[in-house]
Amino acid sequence: MISLKVNGKKHELDLSPDVPLVWVIREHLKLTGTKYGCGKGLCGSCTVHVAGKAVRSCQTSVGDAEGKEITTIEGIPEDHPLKKAWVKEQVAQCGYCQPGQIMQAAELLSGDKNPSEEAIIKAMDGNLCRCGTYPRIKTAIRFASKEGGK
């Protein structure tokens, strides 16, 4: 039995500890906002927070996440400045990469309330978007950092 704490809720799961966290979150817990994109840590679609840090949940085994605080896109409050900024800037196109983008950006803003352009690019460069929403992601992060500072 593995016990996981996701978005403040406890789950007991009967599975092997080496299953990648992304599949446990998505298919076992049915929190499908977290996406699979590459399984190799190359795209960022699966980004979640484990103990406050953005991690690629495809590169984290469920065993390693046991007992730690896990936050997924579903655990980000609706009025979070990033969610508001994403809507305001109309960032999403197909939308598939966006939960990962937002989770990555959330970590950035939690450590740096007013990130520079360089800091934004550095933090976000591991997250791919085939639809090409990068310019709007940048604008949205800037907007959210201003909002968040208020």
Partner 1 sequence: MNSSITRRTFLKAAGFTIAIAITPSGYKILSAKESEEAMGKGFSPNIWLRVMPDNSVIITVNKSEMGQGVYTSLPMIIADELEADWKRVKLEVAPAADGYRDPVWGAQATGGSSSIRHMYEPLRKAGAAAREMLVTAAAGVWNVPAAECEASQGTVKHSASKRTVTYGELVKPASALDVPKDPSLKKETQFRLIGTAVPRLDIVEKTDGSAKFGIDVMVSDMLYATVARPYAFGAKAEAVHDAMAKNVKGLKQIVHIDRGVAFCADTIEAAWQAKKATHIVWGKGADPDLSNETLAKSFEEYLPKDGVVARRDGDVQTALAAASVKLDARYYLPYLAHATMEPMNCTAHVQKDRCDIWAPTQNQTGTLMTAKRITGLAPEQIHVHTTYLGGGFGRRFEQDFVEEAVQTAKAVGRPVKVIWTREEDFQYDYYRPGNLSRIQAALDDKGNPTAWSHKIVCPSIFVRVFPDTMQKGIDNAAVEGLSNLEYDVPNVSVEYVRIDTPVPVGFWRSVGSSHNAFTVETFADELAYLAKKDPLKFRLDLLNKHPRAQRVLELAAEKAGWGKPPEKGIGRGIAYHLSFDSYVAQVADVSVDRKSGAIRVHRIVCAVDCGPVINTDTIKAQMMGGTIMGLSAALKESISFGRGKVLTENFDAYDLLRMSETPKIEVHIVKSDAKLGGIGEPGVPPAAPAVANAVFSAVGVRLRNLPMTPDAVLKALKVADGKA
Chain contacts with partner 1 (rule: CB under 8 A)? 15-16, 19-20, 23, 26-28, 30-40, 42-43, 45, 72-74, 76, 78, 83, 86-87, 90-99, 102, 120-122, 124-138
Contact partners, residue 116, CB within 8 Å, separation at least 6 = none
Cβ nearer to ligand FES, comparing 14 with 108: 108
Inter-residue contact 144 to 106 (CB < 8 Å): no
Which partner in partner 1, ligand FES, none is near 56 (CB below 5 to 8 A by kind)? ligand FES
How far is it, in rounded angstroms, from Cα 120 to Cα 112? 10
Cα Rg of the chain (Å, integer): 15
Which partner in ligand FES, partner 1, none is near 46 (CB below 5 to 8 A by kind)? ligand FES
Which partner in ligand FES, partner 1, none is near 145 (CB below 5 to 8 A by kind)? none
For residue 109, the one-letter residue type is L
Cβ nearer to ligand FES, comparing 2 with 102: 102
Minimum distance from residue 149 beta carbon to partner 1 (Å): 21
Closest CA to 148 of 114, 122, 117: 114
> In the complex, which residues of this chain contact ligand FES (CB under 6 A)?
36-39, 41-46, 56, 58, 92-98, 129-131, 133
- The Cβ-side half-sphere exposure at 66, using a 13 Å CA radius, reads 15
Tell me the CA end-to-end span of the chain in Å, nearest whole number: 44
How far is it, in rounded angstroms, from Cα 75 to Cα 134? 23
Cβ nearer to ligand FES, comparing 8 with 45: 45
Cβ nearer to ligand FES, comparing 44 with 115: 44
